[in-house]
Amino acid sequence: MTMKDAKLNYVIETAASLFLSRSISSVTVKDIAKECGLGEATVYRYFSSKSELIVACAVYMGNKVKKLFTLDDSKNGGYEKIERFFETYLHIFKTRPELYRFLNDFDAFCVAENVVNLKEYEESIDSFKSVFMEAFSEGLSDKSIKPTDDIETFYFTATHSLLSLCKKLSDNSAVISQDKLNNKEKEIKRLIDIILYYIKA
């Protein structure tokens, strides 16, 4: 790794930490430069805009989170691997809810700023699907999972539902009284149970 790469990675890591502890809108490039001990102009040498830096942070966080979804335990069958895949959403909610808050922020930012250069981010998100598909294929082979007529639609429905719920519940603001009543972790677990029930043989 070159000195330039090391500095670039340091800027991304520092910016990601600030976005997670605060919010995308409240953190400026000046804040990031100051936290890194660099001049603003140096940050702009690596990233032409705040948008570019934010997308780089989203890719960085996506790659870190993907490690939590590794399902390489050969002792478990396909169903157990898929169970662990979905329960990782709950584990992240329990241990790092700020990641879901960042994702909520990131989606809103991309829409508001009309961010279009998301190819690398999309690739990092697509890599989760390949982990799931491998486990699903194993589950069909060991007969722990029942076949479904459209696995791609199932995958997107399940992951979008879980992700949306986790993002909503990670926001601590309560709009209506029932937002305060339910156990958030239980709610996520119940959705996981429903998803798993659909595919279990």
This prediction's pTM: 0.89
- Rounded to an integer, what distance in angstroms lies between the CA atom of residue 24 and that of residue 40? 17
**pLDDT tens string 85-96:** 999 999 999 999
The average pLDDT across 43-62 equals 94
**What is the secondary structure of the chain as a DSSP string?**
--HHHHHHHHHHHHHHHHHHHS-TTT--HHHHHHHHT--HHHHHHH-SSHHHHHHHHHHHHHHHHHGGG----TTS-HHHHHHHHHHHHHHHHHH-HHHHHHHHHHHHHHHHTT----HHHHHHHHHHHHHHHHHHHHHHHTTSB---S-HHHHHHHHHHHHHHHHHHHHS---SSTHHHHS-HHHHHHHHHHHHHHHHB-
- Quickly state the pLDDT bin for 73 (edges 50, 70, 90): low
- Cα Rg of the chain (Å, integer): 19
Domains of the chain: 1-48 (1.10.10.60), 51-199 (1.10.357)
Q: What is the pLDDT of residue 41?
A: 94
Give the range among 17-31, 65-79, 184-198 with minimum mean pLDDT: 65-79
- Quickly state the pLDDT bin for 76 (edges 50, 70, 90): confident
